[in-house]
Amino acid sequence: MLGNFQQSQLRIAIPGDHDLIGDSLLNSNQLKKWLIPQTLSSDVPDKLTAGSRFSSKLGLVTIEHYVEIADDNCLRMILKQGIDGYHEWLWGDGWVQSRLEGISLLPLNLGQTFSLLKLRLFLISQTRESDNKNDE
């Protein structure tokens, strides 16, 4: 694999409870909504579970994903091709943490920061929709 070894770990405060955050990361229909411009392959399962395999594309770069761990507060994926390494998500009430490590030509820290901000904006909109429904 060509590229540089890179590692990054970011943790941010994020609206939503443990279940809402987990659903946004483990449910592929939710994941597709906030992960743009990265696209998921058609073979991605509805819910990510240990052993799931799928690919994603970011422009011309394809990344193969193998889900190693998928439970109540952790998603860990082994990555191949565009990134050779792993991506791990941890979460709880009001926070999410992302750890990314691998060899790639892509600027991993920039992409990771962008993804976390997109997830945060998505969860803000989900929380507002939920609040509006409760007010009715």
* Residue ranges of domains in the chain, CATH in brackets: 4-129 (3.30.530.20)
Alpha carbons 37 and 18: distance in angstroms, whole number: 25
Average pLDDT of span 79-92: 97
pLDDT the model gives residue 53 = 97
Alpha-carbon distance 3 to 108, whole Å? 11
pLDDT of residue 2: 80
Taking the C-alpha atoms of 50, 55, 56 and 61 in order, what is their torsion angle to the nearest 10 degrees? Answer: 130
Q: How far is CA 31 from CA 1, 4, 48, 105, in A?
A: 27, 27, 10, 24
133: CB partners within 8 A, 6+ apart: none
Mean pLDDT of the region 10-35: 95
Task: Please provide the average confidence, as pLDDT, over all residues in the chain.
Answer: 93
Residue 136 pLDDT more than 80?
A: no
Query: Are residues 82 and 63 in contact, defined by beta-carbon separation less than 8 angstroms?
Result: yes
Among residues 74, 81, 78, which one has the least CA distance to residue 65?
Answer: 78
Q: Which residue has the higher pLDDT, 107 or 134?
A: 107
User: What one-letter code names the amino acid at 16?
Assistant: G
The model's pTM: 0.91
- What percentage of the chain reaches a pLDDT higher than 90? 86
Burial grade of 77 (CB within 10 A; 0-12, 13-18, 19 or more) = buried
Q: For residues 89, 90, 92 and 95, what is the CA-based torsion angle, rounded to 10 degrees?
A: -60
